Structure 1
């Protein structure tokens, strides 16, 4: 429907000369908005989400050419359409060509414009922008809606809680076919929730988010979504299900095929009531999976489910109530993993490997659940299956996207006294555990911002989200991290910093509110992030090991930076041993500042940014212009190519009269030092002779002078360039702390 409206909009734009330039510009902007939504949807599978803005603002999100070629092709088609529309409008206007000239043509154009603006893609973009940028959020406004678990279970049911990776409800009726027949049959015999939505704002939509959504009843709000491993206390202010159940005398065990440390999952689970964690390393240590049963994503589901079944039997025989949970892995995008266990049991899809993996997961999970329902312990067991999030972009995205608004998460409850019930109450993953506890007989049917769906009324969170008022919930959820204050005690703990009671990896930076409390936490890409996000009125905190900032001083160098001054803190194992104020405005507040972040994580970490421009940096050595905007002029992958073409590069440098920015990325040095020696001569930098593998350099070159900064080996490096002068700004210069 949207495509039809856009075609009508273009046709009606060109049918009348009256206001044709205005109409063409407006139509082009509408097409541009739809193109932005469409290409975003190709990446996310869910239109424009906070993840889109996160990667636009913070990360290159490295993908291979094969991953992006179809998106580039689609973008090219949209560009051609927009240029053709504008060109045709200008031709008609100046050549005085027209088809009808009827005033009703413009009335029809306005009507189609309004209809197009009311389409779901427009609303999606509006809500995503509003939630991400325009609404600061007031946590206090929804504080009364946050509920901790109270009371005691009247009957100590055992719980088996299954997180089915990306296995959304939509697969049960995708393009006229049911790819989850086993789970669908189980759902039809027990309790099936068919309207579990995934909000398109921050806090939902990835595995760690889904785990926190269900167990704590809150969105997971982090500036860098999988950075939980960098903090010592994961959501220390949250009240979550496993902690409450351990207080009820439960044994708790979580099984996953991947590494438990990823995204800080081990910290979250251990700090929120989980007594045992079995992950990939545990499987390997106990020889529970063959090499063929382990892939890059982790232990395959056949080995993991065999172990889960053994643990279910062991815990059932132990006589104590238990919560056993596990997370599958074989349906992880982009293509999923097929295992031989499914041979002769499912129909394979030759066109969509992911759908084969989905069907295989259905067979494995339904077989596992049926074994429980046929076991002696089922009388006292509640089994829950949820998809941790909707499936991200994969080979079958084109099928899933046919009815994007209808996509839902799976939520199935298997309990002996339930008999084939469908519940279509609007809900989210926040409502899962309140509903399960309601089924278990607990009078208190709320957890966090979630509520039981058994009363057939949506909760306040989903009602507010639909109205575009979910930002307050995100603000409250962010407060549950118990962020520290710049006024708290600070002390060095090995290569990390402890602020108050919390310990963080370095580097660490955060914007700071008027009371000195951190508003968010970041751990990498400082220059790249700050060049885009800092505002003239912001105050921020930055801390790193002094040696990683080219400052010859032991300990940690930390700074509280405001528009009027920089407060310098020197922190050691004894605490803050020295501090002083510099009453000058940091150069990081000026406009026209290019932020450059380089390191071994070429795609996720590295890049150069202005507020409106992002420049990815390939591995090796890169040269790019300082004016008028950053564009790579010369790039050499020194670790992948033969000897540096010295004459060619020298000719390139000599023909440039303006200053050139240069930077490494990943590594320049890779054993053969001839390239380093050549660069040292060309750039007149003696230190390049001694550059180590994965030791980074950023600099500003002119034929008369070269200014540069070299980072510590195996460490990321951040620097800025004032594009108006140009001038290199190292971190110590930005903080007035150079030796």
Structure 2
């Protein structure tokens, strides 16, 4: 009897063990499928996702997220998980009394681990997590050295303060105009916006091709873009600070245009057709300028729309522009200078929202139709503003917030095409110092440029990391180039850490990492030899040694004729090289020159830029 009882106990234990093994492997397989599906869905949905945005969004409030996006995730991932789990259960149940049971169990577990590992490796490479981790352990003094606080310079407003209408266009790029106008498409999808930019100021100088601001790292999603435009800073937050900023405070020591205008007595309103809580936009505008937040929730509470009305992210742009007209009439009658900041939403990825006003101009290309519809609505809105009494004393800024995240709209745009944010200043109280000059700028430059457009005199013409584009002061992009700026902005900043911690930065400069620098001099072109001499001197290698000095030269705006050369070291320590002009078909005009130092460890940094001229 004891033997029989012992055998029964062993059988029960064995059965429990089999059951636990089956449950573990089934759950492992389900988790693996969920992980693989989630990663695939993430990159299908956010084709241009980066680690900065991912880390921010993981900690920011999700309240107000488009319900369609949540349902899309559920439909894309959950059914597959359920089906696979049921299949695994069926297979294990059928094999439970057969010899190959544990072999099948092991194969399912191994396949699950391999699939999960492969997906994680894909995400690691796609998000460039290795380089992100390296940057997060490396300090750069770029922001610290170049940041100008509004508290440290004199801002002189005109006696009669001008009104501001600032319109963020969701995902709107200069890319969407025609190639003839500097875009990336055969046919212009935003013709009215193209005309507005060409008739007003986009800082393209004498060039008819549209111009716009580069979107730098940590400015490529909505709240980061709005922060960059209004503060001249990227939304760079140290590890662990995201949740605090998202839920409690939003970089309280940073001074934005909202803070500046509030101090100047402006009445400010944020008007958007989605929930302002999403992505911490409510915190940004309430804490920096004390804006009246009139979002989707406000529209419901105020009776602008029915309580059960919700499309896309809240309500569509057709209603937004209608509400904006009423809001502008009310603000203009208040007797105070006002700032109405707006954000459209119809052109959000994926493929945008087709409203009743949209036409099928581009056949089956829904996103192009939505872009064209948005362009038409904005043009009509601007025409209405121009007919109002308050227009004469009002400056209008229209700008794309960040590059589109749509997965396939730009798939036919050449990879070397330089994508910029749509930008136009209408009725500014300033004129460009050199009307013929095409400027190179980022969205950081919109901060001081907007104030200058309101007639504000800015001591030094710089705020944040931005430069007043109406002035003749060079932008950081023109000084350092976009590549170096992007490289440095991805690293940690002592100043941004102080801002995130709520610490008012000290006046002295913070230096964490010396950057290599040099003086680049271009001498007169020798037409007999066809050579343009270049000297690189006063090289500061930042203590890292000099390996080689490489020089990039190009004449075309799109850098299609870019050539790399290597400078030779002289006995006096300087480096010399000659640009062989015949290699550029004896082209006359400007030769753009970027000089890079490769240090002893193989790291390459830009150390200077200049322009040579061949007559």
Q: How would you bin the TM-score normalised by the shorter chain?
A: 0.5 to 0.7
Partner in structure 2 of residue 459 of structure 1: 475
Determine if the alignment matches structure 1 residue 408 to structure 2 residue 420. yes
* In structure 2, distance between residues paired with 1:422 and 1:261: 43
Secondary structure of 1:406's aligned partner: coil
Secondary structure of 1:312's aligned partner: helix
* In structure 1, distance between residues paired with 2:214 and 2:310: 32
Partner in structure 2 of residue 385 of structure 1: 398
Determine if the alignment matches structure 1 residue 152 to structure 2 residue 151. no
- For residue 127 of structure 1, report the CA deviation from its aligned partner: 9.3
Determine if the alignment matches structure 1 residue 310 to structure 2 residue 306. no
- Per the normalisation by structure 2, the TM-score is 0.56
* In structure 2, distance between residues paired with 1:269 and 1:397: 32
Determine if the alignment matches structure 1 residue 138 to structure 2 residue 143. no
Partner in structure 2 of residue 171 of structure 1: 176
Deviation string 1:147-167 (CA, Å, 9 cap, x unpaired) is 222323124110000011111
Q: Contact 1:353–1:395 (CA<8 Å) still a contact in 2?
A: no
- Alpha-carbon distance change, 391 to 151 in structure 1, aligned in 2, over 3 angstroms: same
Q: Contact 2:430–2:452 (CA<8 Å) still a contact in 1?
A: no
Partner in structure 2 of residue 440 of structure 1: 454
Q: Contact 2:449–2:469 (CA<8 Å) still a contact in 1?
A: yes
Partner in structure 2 of residue 50 of structure 1: 51
Superposed CA RMSD in Å reads: 3.7
Relative contact order, higher structure (CA 8 A, sep 6+): 2
For structure 1, the residue ranges without an aligned partner over 5 or more in a row are 1-38, 69-123, 485-739
Q: Contact 1:256–1:327 (CA<8 Å) still a contact in 2?
A: yes
State how 1:417-428 maps to structure 2 within 5 Å.
424-428=438-442
Q: Contact 2:168–2:400 (CA<8 Å) still a contact in 1?
A: yes
- For residue 424 of structure 1, report the CA deviation from its aligned partner: 3.4
State how 1:64-213 maps to structure 2 within 5 Å.
64=73, 130=131, 133-134=134-135, 136-138=137-139, 142-149=143-150, 150-154=154-158, 155-173=160-178, 174-193=184-203, 194-199=211-216, 201=217, 203-213=218-228
* In structure 2, distance between residues paired with 1:355 and 1:340: 15
Q: Contact 2:142–2:489 (CA<8 Å) still a contact in 1?
A: no
Q: Contact 1:427–1:458 (CA<8 Å) still a contact in 2?
A: no
* In structure 2, distance between residues paired with 1:129 and 1:447: 33
- For residue 437 of structure 1, report the CA deviation from its aligned partner: 1.7
Secondary structure of 2:202's aligned partner: strand
Q: Contact 2:256–2:288 (CA<8 Å) still a contact in 1?
A: yes
Secondary structure of 1:432's aligned partner: helix
- Alpha-carbon distance change, 205 to 141 in structure 1, aligned in 2, over 3 angstroms: closer
Deviation string 1:479-512 (CA, Å, 9 cap, x unpaired) is 311269xxxxxxxxxxxxxxxxxxxxxxxxxxxx
* In structure 1, distance between residues paired with 2:266 and 2:58: 44
State how 1:569-648 maps to structure 2 within 5 Å.
none
* In structure 2, distance between residues paired with 1:57 and 1:416: 39
- Per the normalisation by structure 1, the TM-score is 0.47
* In structure 1, distance between residues paired with 2:262 and 2:363: 47
Secondary structure of 2:340's aligned partner: strand
State how 1:176-575 maps to structure 2 within 5 Å.
176-193=186-203, 194-199=211-216, 201=217, 203-222=218-237, 227=243, 230-290=246-306, 294-342=310-358, 346-399=359-412, 401-403=413-415, 405-415=417-427, 424-444=438-458, 445-455=461-471, 458-460=474-476, 463=480, 465-467=482-484, 468-471=487-490, 474-482=493-501
Q: Contact 2:273–2:320 (CA<8 Å) still a contact in 1?
A: yes
State how 1:654-665 maps to structure 2 within 5 Å.
none
Q: Contact 1:254–1:325 (CA<8 Å) still a contact in 2?
A: yes
* In structure 2, distance between residues paired with 1:283 and 1:55: 28
Q: Contact 2:163–2:395 (CA<8 Å) still a contact in 1?
A: yes
Deviation string 1:194-244 (CA, Å, 9 cap, x unpaired) is 141122x3x111001111001111101245898577431111121111111
* In structure 2, distance between residues paired with 1:57 and 1:294: 25
- Alpha-carbon distance change, 239 to 230 in structure 1, aligned in 2, over 3 angstroms: closer
Aligned length: 384
For structure 2, the residue ranges without an aligned partner over 5 or more in a row are 1-40, 61-68, 78-124, 179-183, 204-210, 504-615
Partner in structure 2 of residue 29 of structure 1: none
Deviation string 1:85-122 (CA, Å, 9 cap, x unpaired) is xxxxxxxxxxxxxxxxxxxxxxxxxxxxxxxxxxxxxx
